[in-house]
Structure 1
């Protein structure tokens, strides 16, 4: 049970004036300290008369702030150690502000002057430390240093900045949790649900902590919106006392909520490329808008694609090819051929007439030969290629070396061997590779992963979740 349930609501009401009042002693005492040291210079001696009054007002407001902060602590949801340090540093600031005032109005002696200057110096440091710890309680310990440049991080002993997620150029390369859900939740919720401030016992800094939840149950339950506490809170009426985030903070938009709903209903996975998840047109637009993409054409190589020849498209469709636009406004195409369609396979060279438009291609279980890959290797705008369950070998893979836009390649159930990994190492944009049920060895996969840490190689049962 939270502390707020053990005290009068009036106590919490009064305590919440702490953030309002706390800025008064900070500003007033800093002005007093500044005037104290400036008054030592002849040109600023007129400030000396105002220092005592400023310290008196600052001391009173510091003591009041301590009292309100103590009442606010009953609200609960704060890290105990961080709260303890902030509380006692705040009390120390109040004490030293009184000491600074007392030594200031005390009988003017050399000793009182030195003591006053020492108190002023300690008070200045205390204000900075107390304010910093208070900020940590509100925003988390990384708030102040989150965007610090590397030289400063090194000086103050911080670890290097976490590696940024690569920029998303096309929708397929986005990770549903790492690039969409986690940034969204962090932006809206992390100030109240971080390591220093776990309001409601809820931590939202990772996928695992979301599943663990807080005092009211798990924040997220895969495929169950009703049991997902986070989803329930963000969809309450804004005037409801349990609505998240609290008043004064920007709520989740309607589109944000739809994205979280989609993620939960599709298993609330901790990772997974959107290339591996079936999206209808509406969901595609939602993800594109969130990621700042427009019709998946942020890739400059694809932005100027003209419309494909309608006669060619009609011809290919008559031979069994399924051809769809990525969206109503896009000229980019998703092309596939149903398994065992020999008639369509014989017409594979016609795909070259749409080489500037085809970005997704699925040719699985067709008896595809190595020579057929000569054609596919010329479709240099391909982003996603699925060739699973075809008898292709390393010789055929060599024809794919020019597919420099390729991000996802499915070679499950083919006859490739270790040499194919070396041939594919030239594809710098490749982010996901499926090589389960091939002649590629586990040792080779592990070695290749060490040299290409940006590449996710699927070598086991994870393939069953792929919906290309």
Structure 2
């Protein structure tokens, strides 16, 4: 049953004037408070005569706002605790505003500065808390603090901001849900379907809740557009009463709809790289346009990144890493380890501090192990990786490199890697050169692999990157 079915239309009609009127008492009462305190200065004493009128206007408009707010709450779809607190704080501010008016005109209290000053401060604080809760009901409880710096988040008891996803610079490294669908839903839908404002009992703040759906059933059904209520709503004619998002908010564009359609038809998964999906030319163009990759030639060497922290670079150099920018006009980095600089092997994890800048990495003869490749597998902008003469590396270590979808050159010469690694290497869609001499790979398997991957040049000889 729809939330609005048991509420007369006229009640909802009147209630929806609440957002229109709510700013009037806030503004008027704040002006009254400012005038009251300014009047304490000699040059502004004349303002005190206008304070009772302003407070009266604020109190009257607050009464009407409370009534309309109550009517609006009848439509439901709000978090009960937040609504309860917002409603009673609003009523409290209204009652105190009325008292403030009477205190400003009653002969026994109008000259009592302490009483009137306390009342003004209470109104001001009450307006702040009431307005904040009203904003939570409209936009969600994280709206005000979502982009706050960590010191402020700590003061209000929130955890530090989650680390932002690495900007997509190559189409293959984009995650269909995390980089495309989730931002679309967050931008168009979350303001009405969050933990504080639950229209249609539908929560869209996570993949699991999206699949769960609301009062009309699952909002997304993997592989089935017809049964996916969210898709149906965003593709209705815009004048339809069930079209989403509602009037006044920017609808999904035709391109946005195609992206969501592609996601649903490909399983509506919570994660998954575009590199693992078959894309037609039209779809490639669609994703490149959305991700801002058009004209970048889908190459991480074209990525624009912030410079690495100079203190971090100095520390890494002290640990044995040789670090240079790849050109005079780029902040991207190439990292190598000079032969014999074995102490660097203990500090592989420290490379994560510049993972957003590294595109070349050469660890020739460093004696790193399979476990170290778990760290290297997180350097997603890598285009060249040299693991030459690291005798402890096996196919297990290579399996940790699946996220290196920008990798164009891989040197595993003189390692313990065998044929099993070919399964992982086959998924490195941009790989152009592979150096496998003196490994445990057999030539017949390598030849079969090479014939199946015409794009790839496989070298059996010694060749540096």
Give the corresponding residue for 1:68. Answer: 68
CA deviation digits over 1:356-404, x for unaligned, max 9? Answer: xxxxxxxxxxxxxxxxxxxxxxxx9xxxxxxxxxxxxxxxxxxxxxxx7
Cα drift, residue 296 of structure 1: 4.8
Cα drift, residue 118 of structure 1: 1.2
Q: Does 1:230 align with 2:230?
A: yes
What is the aligned-residue RMSD (CA, Å)? 3.3
CA deviation digits over 1:275-297, x for unaligned, max 9? Answer: 11111111111111111111453
Q: Contact 1:285–1:295 at 8 Å: present in 2 too? A: no
Give the corresponding residue for 2:447. Answer: none
Give the corresponding residue for 2:197. Answer: 197
Give the corresponding residue for 2:79. Answer: 79
C-alpha distance 261-423 of structure 1, shift in aligned 2 (>3 A): closer
Q: Contact 2:203–2:213 at 8 Å: present in 1 too? A: yes
Q: Does 1:284 align with 2:284?
A: yes
C-alpha distance 428-113 of structure 1, shift in aligned 2 (>3 A): closer
Q: Contact 1:171–1:275 at 8 Å: present in 2 too? A: yes
Equivalent positions of 1:205-220 (< 5 A) are: 205-220=205-220
Q: Quick one: distance in 2 between partners of 1:295 and 1:119?
A: 61
Q: Quick one: distance in 2 between partners of 1:453 and 1:203?
A: 33
Q: Quick one: distance in 2 between partners of 1:173 and 1:98?
A: 60
Q: Contact 1:2–1:75 at 8 Å: present in 2 too? A: no
Q: Quick one: distance in 2 between partners of 1:105 and 1:248?
A: 43
CA deviation digits over 1:117-147, x for unaligned, max 9? Answer: 2111100000000000000000001111111
Cα drift, residue 439 of structure 1: 6.5
Q: Quick one: distance in 2 between partners of 1:210 and 1:424?
A: 32
Give the corresponding residue for 2:244. Answer: 244
The number of residues matched between the two structures is 345
CA deviation digits over 1:282-325, x for unaligned, max 9? Answer: 1111111111111453646258xxxxxxxxxxxxxxxxxxxxxx
C-alpha distance 13-302 of structure 1, shift in aligned 2 (>3 A): closer
Q: Quick one: distance in 2 between partners of 1:196 and 1:108?
A: 44
Give the corresponding residue for 2:379. Answer: 429
Equivalent positions of 1:8-407 (< 5 A) are: 8-109=8-109, 112-297=112-297, 299=299, 301=301, 405=359
Q: Quick one: distance in 2 between partners of 1:189 and 1:302?
A: 33
Q: Contact 1:103–1:116 at 8 Å: present in 2 too? A: yes
Q: Contact 2:150–2:161 at 8 Å: present in 1 too? A: yes
C-alpha distance 9-135 of structure 1, shift in aligned 2 (>3 A): same
Gaps of 5+ in 2: 304-333, 335-357, 362-367, 383-392, 406-419, 430-465
Q: Contact 1:171–1:296 at 8 Å: present in 2 too? A: no
CA deviation digits over 1:172-201, x for unaligned, max 9? Answer: 111100010000011000000001001001
Cα drift, residue 228 of structure 1: 0.3
C-alpha distance 276-97 of structure 1, shift in aligned 2 (>3 A): same
Provide the secondary structure at the position in 1 that maps to 2:71.
helix
Q: Contact 2:35–2:51 at 8 Å: present in 1 too? A: yes
Gaps of 5+ in 1: 304-379, 381-403, 408-417, 433-437
Q: Quick one: distance in 2 between partners of 1:427 and 1:215?
A: 43
C-alpha distance 9-467 of structure 1, shift in aligned 2 (>3 A): farther
CA deviation digits over 1:59-116, x for unaligned, max 9? Answer: 0000100000000001111011111010000000100100111111111458843222
TM-score (normalizing by structure 1): 0.68
Cα drift, residue 421 of structure 1: 5.2
TM-score (normalizing by structure 2): 0.68
